A and B are shown apart, each in its own frame.
Chain A
Amino acid sequence: MQSFVTLDGLVAPLDRANVDTDAIIPKQFLKSIRRTGFGKYLFDEWRYLDQGQPDMDVTSRPKNADFVLNQPRYQGAEILLTQDNFGCGSSREHAPWALLDYGFRCIIAKSFADIFFNNCFKNGILPIVLPAKAVDDLMGQVKAHEGYRLAVDLPAQTITTPDGEAIPFEVDPFRKDCLINGLDDIGLTLRHVKDIRAYETQRKTRAPWLFAGN
């Protein structure tokens, strides 16, 4: 996994609550058996006016000029700023894959849905929850100032605004460590394989039916 330490990036505002993973990456693109290549279909139904299909050449597709990511000022954005309950609905990890492939490494929201939040950390994306007032203030700033950037420092757990204000954020210590070091948590868990075997042995005594096989 790609590590995440610091990021100084352009911010794009997605000023909607309850953005679901069906909106982030529509179902027809889930037929792929790969992990990559989803970025061009990110927010497909909002970004394009036609009906998107897998393996389509997106360069000739009609774009929805009103959609925020199609505005020239937000090209190259690496930080997405949004409202409550981002990533709700389906568990599809294709959603963080699409965001990452598009170029987003950090998502700042008032709140996230659990499965999506978890999936971000497995893919080197840092999801940050900020209080409602802080998100509202940033949303105003981003819209008012073209080229608005934020500097995210994961070890220090701060977001620094262009005028030097440092906004602190919380992050789980275990997830922080994995993200900074780009750790594969399967490797971490396999270090405990003895404990897993020991658990299975005692569980087999207490709940033999689980191991009976059929």
Chain B
Amino acid sequence: MTAKTLFEKVWEAHVVRMDGDVALLYIDRHLVHEVTSPQAFEGLRMAGRTPHRPDFTFAVPDHNVPTTGRELGITDPVSRLQVETLDANCEQFGITEFAMGDVRQGVVHVMAPEQGIVQPGMTIVCGDSHTATHGALGALAFGIGTSEVEHVLATQCLIQKKPKSMRVTVDGTLAPGVTAKDIVLAVIGKIGTAGGTGYVIEFAGSAIMDLTMEGRMTVCNMAIEAGARAGMIAVDEKTIDYVEGRPYAPNGNDWDQATAWWRTLHTDAGAKFDAEVHIDAASLQPQVTWGTSPEMVTGIDGKVPDPAAEPDAVKRTSIENALAYMGLKANTPMREVTIDRVFIGSCTNGRIEDMRAAAAIARGRKVAAGVSAMVVPGSGLVKEQAEAEGLDRIFIEAGFEWRDPGCSMCLAMNADQLAPGERCAATSNRNFEGRQGKGGRTHLVSPAMAAAAAVTGRFTDVRDLT
């Protein structure tokens, strides 16, 4: 038997037919949110089609939902119409929706694993690039456009060419204070934002397998920031323990049969990848981005780069543009960069472990003068759990705002936005120009590093605070 990669095993289990080198790939679960689905549902209606498997489709509003004053509903009429359109489409087509008043509502990529909708070996799509998150459970999960959302609704399949495979091996032990977020930022810094284009990345190695499931989700979530549509991690007992007992997890005989297959979902010894990357976990520091692309990243001991030192003309211009936008001078130590805002949350870092990591730094400290900091749990259930553990009290006493779940200031489609020129330490995934509001300046960090920045007013090595 030929040695296979994890990706090949999952891919091959889902090929319905081949036409030349183009596969018709079966999709096990389709996640839907309000922003990228209305035109797809409208397309179905106009063609007189209905969803092929409404029972394999799960919806949640997350991008437009307010994170305060929720009892008032959505005040922005344009946002409200989009969320109401999702509600109506789910109602019309018989799709399960975790609507705004439901405690299970949250960021789609936090909600779906939490509910056990995401399981090992599945193919999962969503009209959202951060669908890559779910590869942490050994699923093949990737983002699609709205035309493909319509295609999956109508056929439960996608037309796909088999991507190439890359393995990123992170071996060794992380230093205290260095997290999953720092691993993935370092990977993006190393291979670049287009380094994974055309690939599915398998994250492997002892430092990856030592991560919690939440940490693994953080790593796979940002595979797209390295250009890869999907990130994947082998199934182990941690994965199986995570899924067990969740509302949509298999039961009884189904559970035994499922876990028997899940335990085969790892790359066989000797399987070949199209590309291999190695990173030494012990060498990593907490990471901070300085520019307008996630690859523009350095360790907390690093400095803002000097464009004059960059020989490539296109890259030099990119650095110059980034520094101008970010309002940073070349060679400034990252530790001297002061901040105005802090955002802790998102599909990257809005899970319970992230809340705990930030609270551990916030405990007994105060948000620095002039800094405004908010914590947005990834789902209603994360919020409930955090409150049961008293984390909300820690945040509130330290001067953080404790909000309701949603995408919030990761992309600022709701009211949570940066003003022009404001500088933010954010646990989200994109530091693009204008991402958190026109003229806003985003620095990506881990939850602990964001909390450290909140209480000191500048980027600080979290290890100095513990």
Contact = CB atoms under 8 A, between A and B. Distances in A.
Contacts of B76: 31
A189 B254 contact: no
Interface stretch (A2-10, A99-107, A108-116, A155-163): A108-116
Contact of A45 (B52, B78, B157, B434): B434
B127 interface: yes
A189 B413 contact: no
Interface residues of B, number: 78
A91 B129 contact: yes
A209 B321 contact: no
Given A189-B157, A209-B258, A210-B28, A93 B413 contact: no
B421 interface: no
A78 interface: no
A146 interface: no
A192 B79 contact: no
B143 A189 contact: no
B151 A189 contact: yes
Nearest to A23: B433
A37 B308 CA distance: 42
Contact of B432 (A22, A52, A114): A22
A176 interface: no
Interface residues of A, number: 63
Contacts of A207: 13, 121, 257-258, 261
A33 B145 contact: no
Contact of A195 (B13, B17, B143): B17
Interface in A189-214: 189-190, 192-193, 195-196, 199-200, 203, 206-210, 212-214
Contacts of A195: 16-17, 24
Interface in B144-184: 144-148, 150-151, 154-157, 159, 161, 163
Contacts of A89: 129, 224, 430, 432
B74 to A, nearest CB: 10
A192 B38 contact: no
A174 B22 contact: yes
A35 B62 CA distance: 20
Contacts of A188: 159
B293 interface: yes
A144 interface: no
B305 interface: no
Nearest to B126: A91
Contacts of B245: none
B57 to A, nearest CB: 13
Contacts of B143: 91, 115
B413 A186 contact: no
Contact of B159 (A52, A92, A112, A185): A185
Nearest to B78: A31
Most B CB contacts (10 A, CB to CB) among A114, A123, A199, A214 go to A114
A192 B17 contact: yes
Interface stretch (B190-198, B270-278, B351-359, B388-396): B190-198
A21 to B, nearest CB: 9
A27 B235 CA distance: 35
A174 B314 contact: no
A18 B293 contact: yes
A34 interface: yes
Contact of A172 (B64, B161, B413): B161
Contact of A122 (B35, B82, B145): B145
A174 B20 contact: yes
Contact of B55 (A33, A35, A114, A213): A213
B412 A27 contact: yes
Interface in A142-196: 172-174, 185-186, 188-190, 192-193, 195-196
B419 to A, nearest CB: 10
A203 B161 contact: no
Interface string A14-42: 01111010110011101111110000000
Interface string B304-318: 000000000011011
B324 interface: no
B24 A93 contact: no
Contacts of B42: 33, 35
Given A84-B194, A122-B145, A214-B247, A17 B318 contact: yes
B435 interface: yes
Nearest to A172: B161
A34 B39 contact: yes
B438 interface: yes
Given A18-B293, A22-B432, A89-B129, A115 B16 contact: no
B205 interface: no
B24 A35 contact: no
A23 B433 CA distance: 7
A30 B413 contact: yes
A54 interface: yes
Contacts of A138: none
Nearest to A85: B194
Nearest to B410: A27
Interface of B: 13, 16-17, 19-20, 22, 24, 26, 28, 35-36, 38-39, 42, 47, 49, 52, 55, 63-64, 76, 78-79, 81-82, 85, 119, 121-122, 127-129, 143-148, 150-151, 154-157, 159, 161, 163, 193-194, 197-198, 224, 227, 229, 247-248, 250-251, 254-255, 257-258, 261, 293, 314-315, 317-318, 321, 411-413, 430, 432-435, 438
Interface of A: 15-18, 20, 22-23, 26-28, 30-35, 45, 51-52, 54-55, 83-85, 88-93, 96, 111-115, 118-119, 122-123, 172-174, 185-186, 188-190, 192-193, 195-196, 199-200, 203, 206-210, 212-214
Given A90-B129, A114-B227, A186-B49, 9 more contacts: A22-B411, A31-B76, A45-B433, A85-B197, A88-B193, A91-B144, A111-B197, A114-B229, A195-B17
